[in-house]
């Protein structure tokens, strides 16, 4: 049996080639430089290529035959807007229900194309609490909470003290109860009963 991680890596490489081919078919030169698998989506970091302008040059060889050459006179970076405007066409080419384009990826000279995974991955609370983001925040605040993982697979944490009035909303089955359990567990893990008190009210009962 082939491990699931290896299968997903092969699928992601295939999707990366499809993205490059789809963009090229619309006259946009680009190359996938990064693949960041997340629990529900995979982010492909695309580096925009160049728009080339050519002029036709005719030269005669020693036999008097005319040969035509294409001489590059200028090149400019592909505009990010051109990639963003192709979101629906890319979704069709990738057989995806929808895609999200982050232009640009913060801190990187790349355009992020986020494609939904075929199946959602499981995010364990332990991996979030042991992640760099939570550990760094825990050193500053006793009310650090683990939120989960981002689109690129990086762990995400927040300080509850900076948002004391927190509303958790969402459709049925979107994960509100799981998230609330994660918040409670995050607080219980690193605080003693003498340091932490809960008042829990269930208005349905």
Give yes or no for a contact between 103 and 83, defined as CB atoms under 8 angstroms apart: yes
What percentage of the chain's residues is helix, strand, coil (to nearest 5)?
A: 30, 30, 40
Model pTM above 0.75: no
Query: What's the token pair of residue 125?
Result: 């609370």
pLDDT of residue 2: 42
Residues 6+ apart with CB under 8 A from 160: 141, 143, 144, 145, 166, 183, 187
Strand partners, 100: 114
Cα–Cα distance for residue pair 119/126, rounded to 1 Å: 21
pLDDT at 72: 75
Cβ neighbours for 168, distance < 8 A, ≥ 6 positions apart? 176, 179, 180
Instruction: Supply angle C-alpha 56, 54, 62, rounded to 5.
Output: 35
What are residue 85's phi and psi, to 5 degrees?
Answer: -70, -15
Q: Give yes or no for a contact between 88 and 95, defined as CB atoms under 8 angstroms apart.
A: no
pLDDT at site 8: 66
- Spell out the per-residue pLDDT of the chain, length 205, in tens: 545 555 566 788 999 999 999 999 998 999 999 998 888 889 999 999 888 787 888 887 778 788 887 777 788 888 889 999 999 999 998 888 889 999 888 888 899 999 988 887 888 999 999 999 999 999 999 999 999 988 777 899 999 999 988 899 999 988 899 999 999 999 999 999 999 999 999 888 7
pLDDT of residue 7: 59
């Amino acid at each position: 049996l082939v491990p699931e991680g290896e299968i997903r890596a092969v699928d992601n490489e295939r999707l990366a080639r499809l993205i490059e081919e789809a963009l090229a078919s619309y006259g946009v030169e680009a190359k996938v430089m990064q693949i960041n698998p997340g629990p529900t989506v995979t982010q492909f970091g695309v580096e925009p290529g160049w728009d080339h302008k050519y002029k036709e040059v005719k030269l005669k060889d020693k036999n008097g035959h005319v040969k035509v050459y294409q001489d590059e006179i200028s090149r400019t970076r592909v505009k990010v807007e051109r990639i963003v405007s192709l979101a629906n066409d890319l979704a069709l080419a990738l057989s995806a229900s929808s895609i999200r384009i982050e232009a640009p990826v913060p801190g990187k000279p790349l355009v992020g194309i986020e494609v939904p995974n075929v199946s959602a991955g499981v995010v364990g609370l332990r991996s979030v609490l042991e992640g760099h983001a939570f550990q760094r925040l825990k050193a500053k605040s006793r009310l650090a909470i683990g939120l989960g993982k981002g689109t690129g697979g990086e762990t995400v944490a927040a300080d509850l003290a900076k948002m004391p009035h927190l509303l958790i909303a969402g459709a049925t089955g979107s994960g509100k109860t799981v998230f609330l359990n994660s918040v409670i567990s995050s607080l219980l893990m690193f605080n003693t009963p003498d340091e932490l008190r809960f008042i829990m009210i269930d208005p349905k009962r």
